[in-house]
Amino acid sequence: MKIKGTVPISEKGTVPFIFAALLALAACGSPYPKLEKLDANAVVLAFGDSLTFGTGASPSESYPAALESLIERKVVRSGVPGETSEEGLARLPGVLDEVQPKLLLLCHGGNDFLRKLDDAKTAENVRAMVKLARERGIAVMILATPKPAGIGTTMLPFYADIGRENAIPVEGAVLNDVLTDRSLKADLVHPNGKGYRKIAEAIAKVLRKAGAV
């Protein structure tokens, strides 16, 4: 059975400095959270919403497609545009069963923020997705999503908190950098091909620092 949203792949804003700094430390801190090295045949699952699907660019320009070429491992793109974190939590078990990944790249929360859902519930859902994967022996990396705030954005600290709780890497800067740069966007809330490439490069950098590749 094919799981919905699963596809195999072969305007500068203002950000409160303290939140950006905390998330940057979570992604690049010392000591850096380590991941088990992925062997050449390992499968990586990129799971999330439209940012993972690649809305705003062609499938070949999505961040999972770009990442696959950068890390030389198979990356499965499983993004559903418009999906909330609650919907993602419900969908994740079936995708994990189908894909059997060694590493989960989790990018969720953006649609919760756009719909003004409860931040605490979003954090609870992201935390539950991390737990679900780790209980199956799957390594996890989180991509923190910025929240619209007035004319700019803010970064919520719960992503970094979940990273610290689970000793897993959190990339806490690149999505904000891309989504607040008009030259890297296809529309108000989605990157273009160049933006997705920058996201993939940032993820690859974290994976190398963490020892996964």
DSSP 98-164: HH--SEEEEE--HHHHHTT--HHHHHHHHHHHHHHHHHTT-EEEEEPPPEEETTEEE--THHHHHHH
| pLDDT value for 11 | 37
Is 17 among the domain residues?
no
Q: Model confidence over 40-81: pLDDT tens digits?
A: 999 999 999 999 999 999 999 999 999 999 999 999 999 999
Q: Model confidence over 80-112: pLDDT tens digits?
A: 999 999 999 999 999 999 999 999 999 999 999
Is 154 among the domain residues?
yes
Is 151 among the domain residues?
yes
Is 4 among the domain residues?
no
Return the closest-CA partner of residue 50 out of 145, 190, 162: 190
- Kindly report the average pLDDT of the chain as a whole number: 88
Domain at 182, CATH number = 3.40.50.1110
Is 1 among the domain residues?
no
pTM: 0.86
Confidence of residue 30 (pLDDT cuts 50, 70, 90): very low
Q: Model confidence over 149-183: pLDDT tens digits?
A: 877 889 999 999 999 999 999 999 999 999 999 99
Is 81 among the domain residues?
yes
Question: 165 lies in which domain range?
Answer: 44-210
Is 141 among the domain residues?
yes
Total domains in the chain come to 1
Is 5 among the domain residues?
no
| pLDDT value for 32 | 61
Percent over 70 (pLDDT), the chain? 85
Sign of the dihedral defined by the CA atoms of residues 115, 116, 121, 125, in that order? positive
Q: Give CA–CA dist 185/94, Å, rounded.
A: 31
SS3 content of the chain, % helix, strand, coil (to 5): 45, 15, 35
Which distant-in-sequence residues (6+ apart) come within 8 Å of 196 by Cβ? 54, 56, 57, 61, 62, 63, 66
